[in-house]
Structure 1
Amino acid sequence: MAWTFLIIAGICEVAGVIFMKLATEKKTWGPRLLLIANFAVSFYFLSLAMKDLPMGTAYAIWTGIGTAGSALIGIVLFKESADWRRLLFLSCILFGAVGLKLLS
């Protein structure tokens, strides 16, 4: 279950970043509340995952999901740059996360 909790935590972190972007653009309370809620849920599930996974592994995977997921969402939804170098380094994050999973 720890890996499931960690994936949920990462997805909620990505959602929190999306709502952070929307909160800066729209200046309304809806995105701000969703931002806070998603980060709270993310931290909760990260703490559940850390009960069974090593702290360094859990944190690295969590930040990797958040970083890569947010960058990909930025490319798809917010028309950010999809330069090949950016995609190369995002793939490095993903390969590192997979490597940590294989070692845990």
Structure 2
Amino acid sequence: MAWIYLFIAAIFEIAWTFSLQFMSVKKLKALHWRGFFSQWENWAVLAPFAGYVFFGFGNIYFFSQAMKDIPASTALAVWMGAALVGVKFVEIVFLKTPYDWQQFIYMGLILIGIVGLKRMP
């Protein structure tokens, strides 16, 4: 179950990363709370911040649950590797970020390392 928690934490880390990317502190500070619910733009500014908080806490919770049964160094390496590959995948597929075929080789090496760490006792 700890490995499932670890991969859920990695998914939350990926979502947290993009919440942070789309969040604008400047726009959050400029929100007018009077009449907040009447304007759609206010929700569009608040949504990334809400995602930042939600995914951040979820990430911490699931990662801490995983670390109860997985050594910290292994958990950290697998969690970060899975999150790095996931962020790159989201950038390529959904955000249409340019990529080079060599990046897939390096991501494959990261995935091989993750599988290798998972297989260790």
What is the TM-score when the length of structure 1 is the normalising length? 0.90
CA RMSD of aligned residues (A): 1.2
Number of aligned residue pairs: 102
Instruction: Determine which structure has more spread, i.e. the larger CA radius of gyration.
Output: 2
Compute the displacement of 1:97 (Å): 0.4
Choose between structure 1 and 2 for higher RCO, CA contacts under 8 A separated by at least 6 residues: 2
| CA–CA separation in structure 2 for the residues paired with 1:16 and 1:63 | 13
Q: Which runs of 4+ in 1 moved over 3 A?
A: none
> Hey, which of these two has a bigger chunk of helix by percent?
1
Percent identity over paired residues? 36
Tell whether 2:65 aligns with 1:65: no
Tell whether 2:22 aligns with 1:33: no
- Structure 2 unpaired stretches of 5+: 28-44
Please identify, of 39-48 and 15-24, the stretch whose mean Cα deviation from structure 2 is larger.
15-24
What is the TM-score when the length of structure 2 is the normalising length? 0.79
Output one character per residue of 1:30-55: Cα deviation in whole Å (capped at 9) or x when no partner.
Answer: 11120121021111110111001110
Partner residue, 2:60: 43
Alignment-mate amino acid for residue 74 of structure 1: E
| CA–CA separation in structure 1 for the residues paired with 2:52 and 2:105 | 29
Partner residue, 2:8: 8
Compute the displacement of 1:65 (Å): 1.1
